[in-house]
Amino acid sequence: MASFSVDILVPVWNRPVETRSCLVSLVESAPEARLILIDNGSDRETERLLEEFAERLGERALLLRNDITCGFVPAVNRGLSRAEAPFVVIVRNTTVVAPGWLEPLVELATARSETGLAVPRLVLDAATSRRGRRRPDVRVTEVSHGSFAAMLIRRSLFERMGGFDEELDGDVWCLRDYSRRALAEGYLTFAAEGVPVVCRDEVLLGSPGRRRELVDASAAAVATRWGQAASYLVYFPSTADPEVVRTRFSVLLRAARMGHLLTVAIGCKLRRTVSAAGLGSVHRSIVVEELPRFFAPSALRRIVDRCAAEGNDPVCVAGIDGVDPPGEMPPCRPFAWFENEVGAREEAFYRRGANGNPVTAPADCVTVTIPGGTRKGDERKEVAL
């Protein structure tokens, strides 16, 4: 029986042309991976296509079949329950990958045991994926949540906390919930952006009104479980001690991991320090804005107005207690208040102490190679009851 280091799940519901393109790209770019194809009640044309691929791939494929369409997330969860490799990758059947897309995800998860989920660089434009001949440098940063277009999951994380919530929207709020659950277990969500992966906008099913109701209900459910996300504008003057700034960025990172949006306004003299320490790219939800030497008050005002226009009216925080932002700004909270808010949320929703460490650490994040392939007694083609 063959052993695989990666299982790639591809839930499929019709769209045979896109499905063929997706599967061909996966077979060519990931020869060491096993494909778990979940036929989610497709039409006969798509069904024959999946049977053809499973037949040709032999042990490299496991075909699961649902007699009726059960929804994308239930199909994902079924595939996760049958995965055996230490790393499992979810790929939509409308996604097309290129050589070199998978390796950065596996290398990241292998090197950093706290990696629970990882996404590649996702683009909507196919022309973008063909630019450049050499494999691009991989940029790693933390992100708020993954993507069903393409996403790696550590199998031990799934075994520890289960699958995705099938009652949520099957999109952003479902993904945010899963990353928060992973965080509560001590795992992080990363983007390892190297070779572009082309994804397409999904065709939305059902009436707009029903979809809106589901999205609103999902957003409310996630807010109840993990607290309401907020937007903060944190100001550091040019005279701030760089070591203090670096220390306080660790608090900002803890806040970003819980879903908060943070805009960090810094004096121009601090920009070099922040860039050299890599603080500007630690998390995609932390945006660093350099203030000009002159007219800093008007620049700050524009940042506040832009955040408000995007629906994220920010709470202003003084990065250095006692040094408020210049100009006519909203009331500014001291950083000690902000740090207490972060610690209180961790304690309330993530069972963590004030230092940000889990009360109960993950059982074992060390990657162990587990034999892949089809389990004894299973056939590559199954019919769900």
Rounded to an integer, what distance in angstroms lies between the CA atom of residue 352 and that of residue 156? 21
Backbone φ, ψ for residue 296 (5° rounding): -60, -40
> How are beta strands 188-198 and 139-142 bridged, if at all?
antiparallel
- Tokens matching residue 234: 């944190």
Rounded to an integer, what distance in angstroms lies between the CA atom of residue 233 and that of residue 300? 9
Rounded to an integer, what distance in angstroms lies between the CA atom of residue 102 and that of residue 373? 19
To the nearest 5 percent, what fractions of the chain are helix, strand and coil? 40, 20, 40
Instruction: Give the 3-state secondary structure of residue 263.
Output: strand
- Tokens matching residue 215: 């999205």
Residue carrying the six token digits 């589901």: 214
Nearest to 63 by CA among 348, 378, 320: 378
Sign of CA dihedral 181, 182, 185, 190: negative
- Give the class (CATH, top level) of 231-349: alpha beta
pTM metric for this prediction: 0.87
Residue 82, pLDDT score: 96
Rounded to an integer, what distance in angstroms lies between the CA atom of residue 161 and that of residue 163? 7
Residue 354, pLDDT score: 43
> What are the average pLDDT values for consecutive 10-residue runs of the chain, which has 385 residues?
86 95 96 95 95 95 91 96 97 96 97 97 76 72 97 97 96 97 96 94 76 95 96 92 92 97 88 84 94 84 85 90 83 94 94 51 32 33 32
* 50, 194, 260, 313 from 112: Cα distances, Å: 35, 17, 24, 35
Rounded to the nearest 5 degrees, what angle is found at the Cα of 287, between the Cα atoms of 281 and 290? Answer: 100
Backbone φ, ψ for residue 277 (5° rounding): -85, -5
Domain boundaries of the chain, sorted by first residue: 6-221, 231-349
Name the amino acid, one letter, at 85.
A
Bridge partners (DSSP) listed for residue 261: 231
Q: How many CB atoms lie within 10 A of CB 302?
A: 12
Residue 61 parent element (H or E): strand 61-66
- CB proximity list for 303: less than 8 A, separation 6 or greater: 233, 263, 265, 289
Residue 34 parent element (H or E): strand 33-40
Alpha helix ranges (H) inside 40-126:
44-57, 72-82, 103-111
Residue 361, pLDDT score: 37
Examine domains 6-221 and 231-349 and report if their fold is the same: no
Alpha helix ranges (H) inside 310-384:
335-349
> Which of the following CATH numbers is that of domain 6-221: 1.10.3210.50, 3.90.550.10, 3.40.80.10, 3.40.109.10?
3.90.550.10
Residue 352, pLDDT score: 53
